[in-house]
Homo-oligomer: A and B are copies of this chain.
Amino acid sequence: MKKPATQAQREAGKKMGTVTKALSLLTFFTQTRPEIGLSDLTRLSRMNKATVYRLLTELQAAGFVEQAGADRAYRLGPEVLRLAALREAAVPILTVSRGVLDRLGAATGETTHVSLAKDDMLNTIAHAYSPLHATRVAMEDAEVISFHGTASGMAVLAFATPEFTDAVLSGPLPAHTADTLTDPEAIRAVLDTVRAEGIAESVGGFEADVHSHAAPIFGPDSRPLGALAVAAPVSRMTPALRALIRSELRRAALELTRDIGGTCPPSYPGQAAA
């Protein structure tokens, strides 16, 4: 009787309320697709056009989306800025992150970034470049990256609940590059190492020529919220730089966790000593 409706619904296999449907529309906006027309959004969401239109109208009235002048395509609205500012006032992740990123970037001379876990992906919310080198790993905020193919993702997975890790590893694991790990068992083996060291490392797993280190950051409930990472060109990596990055990254991640009011779990390396 009931058709498989929206994408999220089919993925989750559950029913979704009207509010969830409306909010799920917002997830179709990405960096590469910042504006979406009614028909496109209808196709993307697999919902009825009238439904999408009504939901968009409500989202628009609330300022979550607005219509770009030229065509009548929709894009995210100014209200999200207001809420983000408010969220920052309550939990200053962005503000704190920027300071930590700048210092970590200065100490290592490489590109740094913070990403937060959301569903089955990570979102980069802030980044910083070091002026030290002319060549650097380029980043964008709001970039979406996978769990299995990145150091940040592995750092989170290593300290996530087993159920979550299982869910991620049982899903599709696309290879971003020739060096991406795609075998669940191989990934689990790496996660054991990450758990032991507290830092994840990835050489060319997401982007070729990028050597990444990442450490998890934890929330008040000791669960990993996301990760702090340093991305360096493979060509520049040396044992000395690697040691520097690992030491600075470990320190910076602990600082970030602390400053946002989080606590590391007992299993995190170095906690017992504290």
Contact = CB atoms under 8 A, between A and B. Distances in A.
Interface stretch (A12-20, A165-173, A184-192, A234-242): A12-20
Given A34-B90, A93-B81, A142-B82, A17 B118 contact: no
Interface stretch (A40-48, A53-61, A199-207): A53-61
Contact of A17 (B23, B54, B68, B140): B54
Which 8 residue pairs across A and B have the least CB separation, nearest first? A84-B84, A34-B90, A85-B142, A5-B61, A19-B58, A76-B87, A80-B83, A23-B62
A128 to B, nearest CB: 14
Interface residues of A, number: 58
A157 to B, nearest CB: 18
B58 A88 contact: no
A75 interface: yes
Given A23-B62, A221-B69, A85 B118 contact: no
Given A19-B19, A81-B93, A142 B61 contact: no
Interface in A122-178: 123-125, 140-142
Contacts of A141: 85, 88-89
A265 interface: no
A225 interface: yes
Nearest to A35: B90
Nearest to A124: B85
A250 B62 CA distance: 31
Nearest to A29: B86
Nearest to A5: B61
A220 B69 CA distance: 7
